[in-house]
Amino acid sequence: MNDLSDLYQEIIMDHRRNPRNEGLPADHTHTADGFNPFCGDKVSVAVKIEDGSIIDVGFSGEGCAISMASASLMTEAVSGKSIDDATASFEAFRKLLTDGDTSGGVDLGDLEALAGVRAYPTRIKCAILSWHTFKSALENDSAPVTTE
Ligand code: ZN
């Protein structure tokens, strides 16, 4: 079990140090901003959608290691997916964080590295922030997202 959590720790630190898809695509079609007042994490997510698929996605922001690693992991998880599949990943990831349930039939891949935050309810907000912001961007909801 320790080996697994070391591996997960490594994935999180790798995404923290080398964020994927950092920066908002200039030609994005959807965008939203998110804020987690409990930790001070801020994230903006921009998405380019064409024909119901996410063809480009990026984020910018500042915050704790969990929030930034999660944003990086999120962009990797949804890039190239249809909106339906990306929404299914969001639901599966939320389930993983809230009840540790991975039975949703969605392969979460490296996102499972964040499963450990389940033990720390305040960190769940850090991990889910970028996903809520992504979801809000899809819906083109202009109200800022808050985890409060
Ligand atoms: Zn945080």
Question: In the chain, what are the domain boundaries?
Answer: 3-146
Q: How far apart are CA 136 and CA 134, in angstroms?
A: 5
Residue the block writes with tokens 């339906």 = 84
CA of 92 to the centre of ligand 1 (A): 21
The answer to which of 3-17, 47-61, 73-87 has the lowest mean pLDDT is 3-17
Tell me the CB-side half-sphere exposure of residue 32, using CA atoms within 13 A: 20
Dmax (CA) for the chain in angstroms is: 43
Q: Is residue 3 over pLDDT 90?
A: no
Centroid of ligand 1 to alpha carbon of 33 (angstroms): 15
Asked if 76 and 20 touch (Cβ cutoff 8 Å), the reply is yes
For residue 71, give Cα distances in angstroms to 2, 15, 40, 51.
Answer: 25, 9, 15, 24
Distance 118 CA to ligand 1 centre (A): 14
Q: Residue 52 C-alpha to ligand 1 middle, in angstroms?
A: 31
pLDDT-derived band at 143 (thresholds 50, 70, 90) equals low
Q: Are 98 and 120 in contact (CB under 8 A)?
A: no
pLDDT tens readout for residues 93-138: 999 998 888 777 788 999 999 998 998 888 999 999 999 999 999 9
pTM: 0.92
Query: Ligand 1 centroid vs 82 CA: distance in angstroms?
Result: 28
Class of domain 3-146 (CATH, top level): alpha beta
- Check residue 1 and give its pLDDT: 47
Is the per-residue pLDDT at 71 higher than 90?
A: yes
Distance 46 CA to ligand 1 centre (A): 20
Ligand 1 centre and the CA of 51: distance in Å? 34
Distance (Å) from CA 97 to ligand 1 centroid: 15
The one-letter amino acid at 107: D
Task: Name the band, by pLDDT with cuts 50, 70 and 90, for residue 46.
Answer: very high
Of the chain, the percentage scoring pLDDT greater than 70 comes to 95
Instruction: Say how many Å lie between the CA of residue 138 and the centre of ligand 1.
Output: 23
The pair phi, psi for residue 43, each rounded to 5°, is -145, 140
Contacts of 121 (CB under 8 A, 6+ apart): none
Q: How far is the CA of 66 from the centre of ligand 1 (A)?
A: 6
Site of tokens 């969605």: 106
- Output 148 or 19, whichever has higher pLDDT: 19
> Considering only CA atoms, which of 8, 3, 2 is closest in space to residue 127?
8
